[in-house]
Amino acid sequence: TTQATPPKDDTPPTAPAKLSGGAEGSRAATLAWGASKDDVGVTSYDIYQEGSRIHSVPASETKAKLTGLRPGTVYTFTVRARDASDKSSPDSNALDLTTASAPGAPASTAPTGLRTEIGKEGAEFTVDLSWDQPDTGGVIPAYQLYLNGKLTTTIVWGGTPPKGRATYRLNLADPAGTRYSVKLRAKLPDGKWGDFSAQPTIVLAD
């Protein structure tokens, strides 16, 4: 017997709201979010990490526990709702979590709190980045910025490096709807490159 044809559903669900959570030790995390709405019905929620789906729960659940994470690592999670027609909602808000370091491991040197804001400047899109700089015990002279896992540019300050929260504007000539994952890492006082930040996903849109 074949399965019944699902009801017609042309509208994707609304985005899950108020994603929150926290790390549990060095290898696990818990997430929770507000339920999505759909004109026919939500069937499941998908958890994404850096743009890749890593876990799913049924529509009756609005929380999840993730295991198998790496110690001392920054993760960025988002959640999408899915309906019977396999349409996905927009992303929830992004949540950055850092797992605890393993015993004896050095402190993370990853930038934290990476935020992005999309704008338009003529025919190009602008991406305004801001982040909290890691405590390295010295001046951070430069950062490497990666898009979709590939080095895009090295940010070198023209004068005195900023303290506290840093900012940078990136111009992109790609068409609307282009999706990128963004991450960066600092050049440490000893000349080595530090740990990567969380990796949020952006979509270019007017």
- Residue pair 185/145 in contact (Cβ under 8 Å)? The answer is no
Structure tokens at 139: 């001046």
Model confidence over 173-186: pLDDT tens digits?
A: 999 889 898 999 99
Q: Is there a domain that residue 1 lies in?
A: no
Q: Is residue 103 part of a domain?
A: no
Same domain, 140 and 78: no
CATH of the domain at 63: 2.60.40.10
Distances (CA, A) of 123 to 171, 178, 182, 202: 10, 14, 21, 18
pLDDT surpassing 90 at residue 166? yes
Average pLDDT, the chain: 87
Residues 126 and 62 in one domain: no
Residues 6+ apart with CB under 8 A from 35: 16, 17, 42, 62
Q: In this predicted structure, what is the pLDDT of residue 159?
A: 74
Whether residue 7 is contained in a domain is answered as no
Query: Does residue 198 share a domain with residue 116?
Result: yes
| 132 in a structural domain | yes
- Strand 17-24 and strand 28-34: pairing? antiparallel
Same domain as 94, residue 116: no
Q: Tell me, yes or no, whether 92 lies in a domain.
A: yes
Structural domain span for residue 141: 112-203
Cβ neighbour number for residue 100 with a 10 Å cutoff: 15
Question: Is residue 90 in a domain?
Answer: yes
pLDDT, tens digit, 9 for 90 and up, residues 137-165: 788 889 999 998 889 999 998 777 788 89
